[in-house]
Structure 1
Amino acid sequence: MTAPDANQPAADLESDLASGRLAEIIGDIAEEAARLILPYWRAEAVVETKADASPVTEADRAAEALILARLAEHWPDVEAVAEEAVAADGAPASVGEWFWLIDPLDGTRGFVQGRETYSVNIALIRGDAPVAGAVTAPALGLSWRSAAPGQGALRRAFGEPWRPIRVRERPADAVALVSHSISEEEAQRLAARNGCGRWQGMDSSLKFCLIAEGRFDAYPRTGPTCEWDTAAGQAVLEAAGGRVLAEDGRPLAYGKPSFLNGPFSAIGA
């Protein structure tokens, strides 16, 4: 009898990544999670407070359970680091070469307040870099994802075909996206530091995706974020020709202690 090949799971994953099948599947999974979330939106969901003072709802937990189950059906041997599991059980001390980063409902505060710009985030990390990602905005009926490596990024409205997107050339009147949680003075300072004369506040990882599709030019961030907040959006933006740079000028990396990010700038062209 032939011994099982210990490298086969990784080989299958790599093949699915290279063909674009993996990115297509995670895009579908993100949209399935979006359909699960929508009935909770603007429905007076019960809100709990986690140890870090951030909110969580039944929608967060239900979407995470669905995403984890679907990923395990396709790639059962790939470790997953998911926001609500980490909140309940703590972060893993280390991860392997391949792992998922999952935020089942990014922008929960805005979701609770009835705003539209919350999202579902699924990313695959290899080493310290996001190599595939999907982001879905349930309330907007829109999704973004990477394609096969080197083949760009895509966007679709629910039920429509995927269409290619790309960052725009930096215009003379560049516009930055910033977090809703910062002051007007801080927003203006960050926008100017990134060469943008104007700025707009927005929730969640949609900031990465709107830069990826060429509607905005930069997203500077100094406040703390977790890796599951940024990985999927970074994968989409980098596939579309953009960059996400840490303070040292290198690409924002993953698998850091406690999965916490420092300051970064997401940039289009």
Structure 2
Amino acid sequence: MSQSNMLEALLEIARDAGRAAMAIYNKDFNIEYKDDKSPVTDADLAAHKVIVAGLKSLSPATPILSEESADISWEERQKWNEYWLVDPIDGTKEFIKKNGEFTVNIALIRDGKPVLAVVDAPALGFSYLAEENIGSFKDDGKSRTQLKVELKQAKGVIRVVGSRSHPSPELAEYVKQFDAVEMVSKGSSLKLCLVAEGSADIYPRLGLTSEWDTGAGHAIAEIAGATITQLDGSPLLYNTKESYLNPFFIVSSLKG
């Protein structure tokens, strides 16, 4: 299968999972809590089942790491050169609030780097998709727009993704380097996609995330031309350590 056909197949899997989630979103649903107190709903599990079935059909030999089936030993994972990284519902809290800002996330990780991905926002009616040799796109089911980040100087008003009303002390300190700041608020992996589509200039993530939270959005932003690095400037990589937690990172369309 060509990479273009693979991308289209992945988009359909993500949208199928999104439809399964929306069937639950539009009615009352069960909420449970994991050991870390993070919520999980019937939709997380329904979307997970749709995605896993779809990926096994699409690429039977490729391992799958999903937030809802993450109990895979490091001994096994460190042998993987390529695998699917899945967050069936990113932004479960947004899902529970019913504000629409949740996403279905699927990424193909190859040698520590996301190279193919879809981020579907089913309640908002659009998807992002990217493949490293084809490009990054936004698709509303009727039309598709290629996303190309235009790098800009860090001058004037800089649009920063973060909490509009309650920025963390770390973020407040970080943005002091800019002349003027406009805060942009968004839930889930849509934060990375905002930089990809040019709706924000920089997303400093100075808080904990897991690899499945970022893999797909990382691909959308980076393939569109944004830079994604750890705070020391080194690349943000996947499946290079036992923990699933990411280091702090910066998604940017700023030069320098």
> What is the TM-score with the length of structure 1 in the denominator?
0.85
CA-CA distance at 1:200 after TM superposition: 2.0
Q: Which residue of 1 aligns with 2:183?
A: 199
What is the distance in 1 between the residues matched to 2:165 and 2:13? 29
Higher mean alpha-carbon deviation, 187-196 vs 20-29, is at 187-196
- Residues 248 and 184 (structure 1 numbering): CA distance in 2 closer, same or farther, change over 3 Å? closer
Match of 1:178 among 133, 149, 162: 162
Unaligned runs of 5+ in 1: 1-14
- Structure 1 contact 144–236 (Cα < 8 Å) conserved: yes
Structure-1 separation of matches of 2:180 and 2:246 = 23
CA contact (8 A) 2:101 2:190 kept: yes
CA separation of 1:79 and 1:54: change in aligned 2, threshold 3 A: same
Q: Which of residues 151, 154, 159 is equivalent to 2:134? A: 151
1:161 is matched with 143
Residues 68 and 80 of structure 1 are in contact (CA less than 8 Å); yes or no, is this contact kept in structure 2? yes
Are 1:55 and 2:69 an aligned pair? no
Displacement of 1:186? 4.4
**For the Cα contact (< 8 Å) 1:180–1:202, is it kept in 2?**
no
Offset of residue 243 of structure 1: 1.4
Give the Å deviation of 1:196.
6.2
- Residues 119 and 66 of structure 1: is their aligned pair in 2 closer, same or farther, counting only changes over 3 Å? same
Residue deviations 1:175-211 (CA, integer Å, cap 9, x gap): 0112589646544334345776121222100011111
- Give the 3-state SS of the residue equivalent to 1:245 in structure 2: strand
1:74/1:196 CA distance change after superposition, 3 Å: farther
- Per-residue CA deviation, residues 205-247 of structure 1 (Å, 9 max, x unaligned), is 0011111111111111121111000000010111101111012
Q: 1:37 to 1:126 in 2, by over 3 A?
A: same
The gaps in structure 2 that reach 5 residues or longer are: none
SS of structure 2 residue aligned to 1:257: coil
CA RMSD of aligned residues (A): 2.0
The corresponding residue for 2:207 is 223
| Amino acid in structure 1 at the alignment position of 2:230 | A
Calculate the TM-score normalised by the size of structure 2: 0.90
Q: 2:22 aligns with which of 15, 25, 38?
A: 38
| 1:258 alignment partner, one of 222, 243, 249 | 243
**Greater CA deviation, 124-133 or 165-174?**
165-174
Preserved contact between residue 191 and residue 199 of structure 1 (Cα < 8 Å): no
Does structure 1 retain, via aligned residues, the 8 Å contact 2:157–2:179?
Answer: no
1:118–1:204 Cα contact (<8 Å) kept = yes
**1:244, 1:194 → 2: CA distance?**
19
Q: Which residue of 2 aligns with 1:10?
A: none
Match of 2:63 in 1: 79
- Evaluate the alpha carbon distance shift between residue 162 and residue 106 of structure 1 in structure 2; reply closer, same or farther with a 3 A threshold: same
Identity over the aligned pairs, expressed in percent?
Answer: 35
Q: Deviations over 1:133-163 (max 9, x none)?
A: 110111110100113x333211111x21322
- Whether the 8 Å CA contact 2:161–2:200 is kept in 1: the answer is yes
> Measured at CA, do residues 28 and 208 of structure 1 come closer, stay the same or move farther in structure 2, by a change above 3 Å?
same
